[in-house]
Amino acid sequence: MADRNPPPLTPAGYQVLLALADGKAHGYAVMRFVEDVTNGSVQLGPGTLYRTIARLVADGLVEEVSGDDSEPHDARRRYYRMTSLGIDAAKRETDLLARLVGVAENAGLLDSARRSTA
Amino acid sequence: MADRNPPPLTPAGYQVLLALADGKAHGYAVMRFVEDVTNGSVQLGPGTLYRTIARLVADGLVEEVSGDDSEPHDARRRYYRMTSLGIDAAKRETDLLARLVGVAENAGLLDSARRSTA
DNA sequence: TCTCGATATATCCGAAGTGGATATATCCAA
DNA sequence: TTGGATATATCCACTTCGGATATATCGAGA
């Protein structure tokens, strides 16, 4: 069973949970999601990706689910979704990050004028 | 643009930069700031703290400055402040985190039931 | 003055996390 | 049927982290 104490969430762990926020997804889709949502500034290689998923499952934050009927069947894919424990952890981490961003914003460290970079 | 090789910012590195956002501070104050602003959920031990500061200085994101005249002199303290490079890095990281928080928020992962401290 | 606990910095070590290479297999389109 | 993209899995070297230990200074009070 997963422990009672909240296991600390690694950066990669949070990325994966975010990718699963909209529902279930398979590993490779998580990888593409993270790269996409961070504009390529965060990249999960296969090592970090599958190791992180395995750890999240072991900690009870994520569980494997069966494939979707709507999608074309692909035997290779393994789908995952957050557990309620995982949702809790994601909320806690989001709260923390939001607080940090707030502090940074108050200090003028939010450079929103950054869109097209050279 | 300048930052061709932006040195990656570790979580601890970002915490330290945030603590220096309001001006200069010495290491021990950084430690207390981090613990305070995160409600104790993030704690930088001496190992991580001074190692991280040393790395930031080596990477040119932070520089040591002389002590303040207004404060009572304490020979032990070593004060630091962000360089312009450090400010850039902090802004970039803040942008990234803000984007992640936005994604989480859209997915209902912001447990705002806990607003400003009670 | 002398002692003692809090403050402050520094370093070391084992544990954990990361990045990238490698391996293997399946899917799909040409 | 062949090849490139998709998909998962594991291994190894490197970095980072957390905590213990060490050392020294400051300030308050006996």
The two three-digit tokens of residue B61, written as one number: 């994101």
Is the torsion defined by CA of B93, B95, B98, B104 positive or negative?
A: negative
Strand pairing class (A79-82; B62-65): unpaired
Using CA coordinates, name the residue in chain B closest to A116. Answer: B1
B86 touches A4 (CB < 8 A): no
Task: Give the best residue of B97, B109, B110, B114 to mutate against chain A (max A CB count within 10 A).
Answer: B109
Shortest CA distance to B93 belongs to which of B3, B27, B30, B29? Answer: B3
The protein residue nearest nucleotide C11, judged by CA to C1', is B47
Q: Does the domain at residues B11-106 carry the CATH identifier 1.20.1250.20?
A: no
Kindly report the number of other CB atoms within 10 A of residue B45's CB atom.
10
The closest CB to that of B38, out of A87, A96, A101, belongs to A96
Name the amino acid, one letter, at A11. P
Lowest mean pLDDT among A43-47, B23-27, B66-70, B76-80: B66-70
The two three-digit tokens of residue A95, written as one number: 């709260």
Per residue in B32-74, pLDDT (tens digit) is 999 999 999 999 999 999 999 999 999 999 999 987 766 778 8
Per DSSP, the residues of chain A read ---SSPPPPPHHHHHHHHHTTTS-EEHHHHHHHHHHHTTTSS---HHHHHHHHHHHHHTTSEEEEPPPSSSPP-TT--EEEE-HHHHHHHHHHHHHHHHHHHHHHHTT---TT--S--
Per-domain boundaries in chain A: 11-106
The gap between B71 CA and D28 C1' (Å) is 19
Question: What residues does A62 pair with on adjacent strands?
Answer: A82
Per residue in A33-90, pLDDT (tens digit) is 999 999 899 999 999 999 999 999 999 999 999 877 667 788 889 999 999 999 999 9
Provide the number of CB pairs (under 8 Å) joining chain A to chain B.
Answer: 98
Whole-number pLDDT of residue B6: 65
Chain A residues in contact with B15 (beta carbon < 8 A): 100
Whole-number pLDDT of residue A116: 38
The closest CB to that of B94, out of A38, A92, A104, belongs to A104
Chain A residues in contact with B91 (beta carbon < 8 A): 109-111, 114
Contact A110 B94 (CB under 8 A): yes
